[in-house]
């Protein structure tokens, strides 16, 4: 079991579905000797013993407990909403399966910021006008705003960050803490995957 600080946190991996450009589920794409899902699970388990996968029960049940969307086909907001409704902890780390460059150090940085900002419903990085909602920490209360938006047919998660108290990590703060925005790179195409393999 984890220590007391770990037990206030659940980690969720947004596994997504089949990528038309990759030809398979991104979760099962091999990168640097293991699947993207295995890498994401290893990272999540390094910060908390309570790790779940957001996705299909049929596909992902062999790997970890699975949470399926309540509002289907609503993108990342639907996944985050389902995660928070299923969670028993106040803090919830959400990671995308296709961002293998997010490090343990950055996950810890996010969690530390969230613990230090109890008034914030979300702690999310932003690079200029681009939010990184799938590398953030959410309190369960964020689910209420998410549900209201989803019921109204508004699926864009970034619009909610003005509606709730959000601890924004701007680019300057990110870089000042020693992190590169390159950690948010995701792998969307076979060409991107091959380029990263060559760079490694």
Report pLDDT digits (tens) over 118-150: 999 999 999 988 999 999 999 999 999 999 999
Q: CB under 8 Å to 73, separation ≥6 — which residues?
A: none
193 pLDDT tier (thresholds 50, 70, 90) = low
Candidates 52, 59, 60, 83; CA nearest to 70 is: 83
When pLDDT is cut at 50, 70 and 90, the band that residue 2 belongs to is very low
Q: Band the pLDDT of 187: cuts 50, 70, 90.
A: confident
The H or E element containing residue 12 is strand 9-14
Q: Please say whether the beta carbons of 30 and 192 come within 8 A.
A: no
Identify the pLDDT of residue 109: 98
Summarised one tens digit per residue, pLDDT across range 13-66 is 999 765 556 667 889 988 888 999 999 999 999 999 999 999 999 999 999 999
Could you give the CA distance from residue 20 to residue 6 in angstroms, rounded to a whole number?
Answer: 37
Rounded to 5, what percent of the chain is helix, strand, coil? 40, 20, 40
**pTM of the predicted model over 0.85:** yes
CA–CA separation, 42 and 63 (whole Å): 11
Is the pLDDT assigned to residue 3 strictly greater than 50? no
Q: What percent of the chain has pLDDT over 90?
A: 78
Taking 70 as the threshold, does the pLDDT of residue 200 lie above it? no
Backbone angles phi, psi at 52, to 5 degrees: -130, 160
The interaxial angle of helices 75-86 and 142-151, nearest 10 deg, is 130
Average pLDDT over the chain reads 90
């Amino acid at each position: 079991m984890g220590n007391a600080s770990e037990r206030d946190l659940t980690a969720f991996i947004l596994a997504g579905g089949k990528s038309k450009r990759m030809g398979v589920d991104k979760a099962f794409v091999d990168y640097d000797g293991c699947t993207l899902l295995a890498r994401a699970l290893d990272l999540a388990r390094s910060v908390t013993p309570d790790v779940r996968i957001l996705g299909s029960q049929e596909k992902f049940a062999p790997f970890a407990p699975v949470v399926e969307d309540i509002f289907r086909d609503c993108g990342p907001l639907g996944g985050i909403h389902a995660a928070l409704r299923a969670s028993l902890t106040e803090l919830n780390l959400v990671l995308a399966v296709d961002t293998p460059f997010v490090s343990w150090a950055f996950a810890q940085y996010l969690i530390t910021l969230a613990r230090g900002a109890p008034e914030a419903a979300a702690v999310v990085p932003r690079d200029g006008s681009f939010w990184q909602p799938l590398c953030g920490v959410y309190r369960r209360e964020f689910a209420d705003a998410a549900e209201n938006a989803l019921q109204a047919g508004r699926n864009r998660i970034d619009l909610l960050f003005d509606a709730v108290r959000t601890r924004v990590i701007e680019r300057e703060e990110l870089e000042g803490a020693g992190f590169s925005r390159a950690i948010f790179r995701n792998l969307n195409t076979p060409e991107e995957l091959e380029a990263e393999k060559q760079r490694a």
